[in-house]
Amino acid sequence: MDFKPPQIIESRVLTRLPDEFRRKRASEWGDANKPGHELDSFLEGPSFDREGNLYVTDIPFGRIFRISPSLD
């Protein structure tokens, strides 16, 4: 079989976690999964609602963030 090379898809930053919400410390999740390590926030589980809001979870600190499609 002759396969074509994969299509290159350029990525771009859509949004980022504002500094006031960043945490770099130990957490209960970190104690159970990475004992002795200081963890930074990291986002997973993206999901959109019908209004176009993006929801993500901050796993180490048990938070859910909503990112609005509006710029105001």
- Rounded-to-integer distance, Cα 16 and Cα 23, Å: 14
Instruction: Look at residue 72 in the predicted model and tell me its pLDDT.
Output: 54
User: What pLDDT is stored for residue 34 in this prediction?
Assistant: 82
The reported pLDDT for the residue numbered 10 is 92
Write the CA distances from 29 to 32, 37, 53, 63, integer angstroms: 5, 11, 26, 12
pTM recorded for the entire structure = 0.64
pLDDT of 63: 92
Q: What is the pLDDT along the chain (72 residues), one digit of tens a residue?
A: 789 999 999 988 877 788 888 877 777 887 888 888 888 888 898 999 999 999 999 988 889 999 888 865
